């Protein structure tokens, strides 16, 4: 036995006992982008016994500025993120078990993945998956740690079933059309700050230091020098459909999930969000125009040429057609990168 | 009216309630959570919570990136 973990063991609140606990824990990380790779590296180095990391995407050059487990080789060969992450994590710590799964985590997949898991880390890029995760966490009583960032802004909250409000209590409904890293950019320190908050909470939970949890919604803007920690306990709703007294876990119901379909013979994927809110085409037009690519609009829809291959058509009722692909994962990547 | 929003003093016109302020800041539909003078408000209170000169407002909004 080498002294790999000696400095962490010296830290009073962890100690030998905490280290032992970590070695017997299994953490599920949903997403292997900026937050996913950041969380995975810290937890792997810390000696979490098993880490499962899930992602449907592959590595691109635009990821390397902040997605810390990936190399130029990975971008060159378009390695699936889950595979590239696993390989790097295995180099960092061969004592632990690492599983990298290339898949799109829907309700069924998440249900299977959470078996024997102690903690779920949110490293996704969209609210649809987060709300699924939120319901599964409530159903299985496995805590999860929300984290998100864009630009120089980020936030995090630890959701402990039966104790804290859940994401549904805080959001009430699915946000539509927010800024994303692909539309508003992102600086690496904002990622690292969210990762620091998520992994600190993870270490507390996994080493039996629940009393040390923050219990606050933390947010910051590193460029505008603003930091905040808000006590949101009052927002827990007794009638919340996800965590209230009579939960129905609405996001696990297929009717409330974002639906995708390949339109036969048209080289097109349709994405239909579950929420029936109206899409603000004016706002979207502004955001997409700034990215370059041609935006055309009539009162009913907006057409955007994202690149040579792909054209997206956004309808007012929320539906989006992604022309130029029959691949649902590819279509979802493009969709969430622009819409969030 | 002068408000202190997330630590910055700002002058707003045509804003009467917290709901108006959320719209003004283009945070409508982004799940904003608001503290008015250090008291957290539920979302159903946003439309009725009237703002006064010098009020301290803290707003957290949700983003999807990661």
Asked if A45 and A93 touch (Cβ cutoff 8 Å), the reply is yes
Asked if residue A82 and residue A194 are part of one domain, the reply reads: yes
- State the pLDDT at residue A175: 81
Minimal Cα distance from A275: which residue of B? B29
Asked if residue A185 and residue A328 are part of one domain, the reply reads: no
Asked if A104 and A328 touch (Cβ cutoff 8 Å), the reply is yes
Mutation target for B interface from A38, A175, A193: give the one with most B CBs within 10 A: A175
Asked if residue A196 and residue A218 are part of one domain, the reply reads: yes
Asked if A257 and A251 touch (Cβ cutoff 8 Å), the reply is yes
pLDDT at A144 over 70: yes
Which among A173, A228, A277 is the nearest to B58, CB-wise?
A: A228
ipTM: 0.94
pLDDT interval class at A26 (50, 70, 90): very high
pLDDT interval class at A256 (50, 70, 90): confident
Say if A43 falls within a structural domain. yes
Asked if A99 and A67 touch (Cβ cutoff 8 Å), the reply is no
Asked if residue A266 and residue A237 are part of one domain, the reply reads: no
pLDDT at A290 over 70: yes
Asked if residue A292 and residue A157 are part of one domain, the reply reads: no
Q: Select from A271, A276, A253, A274 the least CA-distant residue to A261.
A: A271
A229 in contact with chain B, both atoms CB, cutoff 8 A: no
CATH number of the structural domain spanning residue A312: 3.30.310
B22 token code pair: 């959320």
pLDDT at A206 over 70: yes
- What residues does each domain of chain B span? 2-60
Asked if residue A227 and residue A296 are part of one domain, the reply reads: no
Total domains present in chain A: 2
Say if A229 falls within a structural domain. yes
Asked if residue A165 and residue A107 are part of one domain, the reply reads: yes
In this structure, the strands spanning A301-305 and B8-11 are unpaired
Indicate if the alpha-carbon torsion angle A86, A252, A233, A114 is positive or negative: negative
Q: Which residues of B touch A (CB under 8 A)?
A: 6-8, 29-31, 33, 35, 40, 42-43, 58, 60, 62-66
How far, CA to CA in Å, does A4 sit from each of A27, A221, B63? 20, 34, 37
The torsion angles phi and psi of A237, rounded to 5 degrees, stand at -105, 125
Range 61-120 of A in CB contact (< 8 A) with B: none
Taking only the tens place, the pLDDT of each residue in A100-125 is 999 988 899 999 999 999 999 999 98
CATH top-level class of B2-60:
alpha beta
Measured between alpha carbons, how far is A156 from A2 in angstroms, rounded to an integer? 34
Asked if residue A199 and residue A275 are part of one domain, the reply reads: no
H or E stretch at B58 = strand B56-60
pLDDT interval class at A177 (50, 70, 90): low
- State the pLDDT at residue A117: 98
Asked if residue A269 and residue A201 are part of one domain, the reply reads: no
Asked if residue A278 and residue A247 are part of one domain, the reply reads: no
Residues of chain B with pLDDT under 70: none
Measured between alpha carbons, how far is A232 from A156 in angstroms, rounded to an integer? 12
pLDDT at A274 over 80: no
- State the pLDDT at residue A254: 84
Asked if A129 and A200 touch (Cβ cutoff 8 Å), the reply is no
pLDDT at A139 over 80: yes
pLDDT interval class at A1 (50, 70, 90): low
Measured between alpha carbons, how far is A170 from A242 in angstroms, rounded to an integer? 11
Asked if residue A280 and residue A204 are part of one domain, the reply reads: no
Say if A1 falls within a structural domain. no
Asked if residue A182 and residue A90 are part of one domain, the reply reads: yes
């Amino acid at each position: 036995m080498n002294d790999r973990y000696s400095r962490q063991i010296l830290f009073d609140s962890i100690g030998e006992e905490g280290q032992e606990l970590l070695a017997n824990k299994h953490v599920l990380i949903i997403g292997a982008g900026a937050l996913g790779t950041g969380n995975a590296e810290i937890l792997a180095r810390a000696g979490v016994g098993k880490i499962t990391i899930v992602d449907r995407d592959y590595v691109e050059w635009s990821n390397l500025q902040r997605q810390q487990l990936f190399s130029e080789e990975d971008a060159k060969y378009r390695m699936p993120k889950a595979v590239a992450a696993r390989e790097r994590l295995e180099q960092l710590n061969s004592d632990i078990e690492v599983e990298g799964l290339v898949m799109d985590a829907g309700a069924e997949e998440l249900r299977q993945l959470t078996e024997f898991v102690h903690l779920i880390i949110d490293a996704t890029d969209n609210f649809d998956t987060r709300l699924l995760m939120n319901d599964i966490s409530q159903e299985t009583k496995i805590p999860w740690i929300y984290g998100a960032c864009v630009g120089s802004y980020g936030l995090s909250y630890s959701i402990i079933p039966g104790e804290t409000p859940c994401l549904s209590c805080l959001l009430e409904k699915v946000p539509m059309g927010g800024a994303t890293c692909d539309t508003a950019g992102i600086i690496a320190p904002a990622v690292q700050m969210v990762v620091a908050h998520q992994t600190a909470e993870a270490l507390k939970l996994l080493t039996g230091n629940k009393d040390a949890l923050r219990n606050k919604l933390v947010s910051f803007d590193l460029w505008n020098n603003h930091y905040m920690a808000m006590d949101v306990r009052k927002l827990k709703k007794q009638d919340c459909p996800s965590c209230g007294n009579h939960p129905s876990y609405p996001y696990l119901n297929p009717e409330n999930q974002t639906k995708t379909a390949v339109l036969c013979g048209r080289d097109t994927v349709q994405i239909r969000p579950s929420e029936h809110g109206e899409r603000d085409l004016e706002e979207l037009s502004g955001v997409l125009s700034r990215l370059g690519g041609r935006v055309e609009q009539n009162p009913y829809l907006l057409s955007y040429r994202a690149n040579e291959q792909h054209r997206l058509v956004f309808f007012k009722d929320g539906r989006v057609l992604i022309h130029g692909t029959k691949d649902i994962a590819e279509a979802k990547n493009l969709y969430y990168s622009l819409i969030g | 009216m002068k408000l202190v929003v997330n630590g910055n003093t700002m002058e707003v016109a045509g804003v009467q309630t917290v709901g108006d302020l959320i719209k003004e800041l283009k945070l409508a539909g982004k799940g904003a959570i608001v503290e008015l003078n250090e008291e957290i408000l539920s979302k159903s209170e946003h439309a009725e919570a009237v703002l006064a000169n010098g009020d301290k407002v803290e707003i957290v909004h949700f983003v999807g990136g990661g």
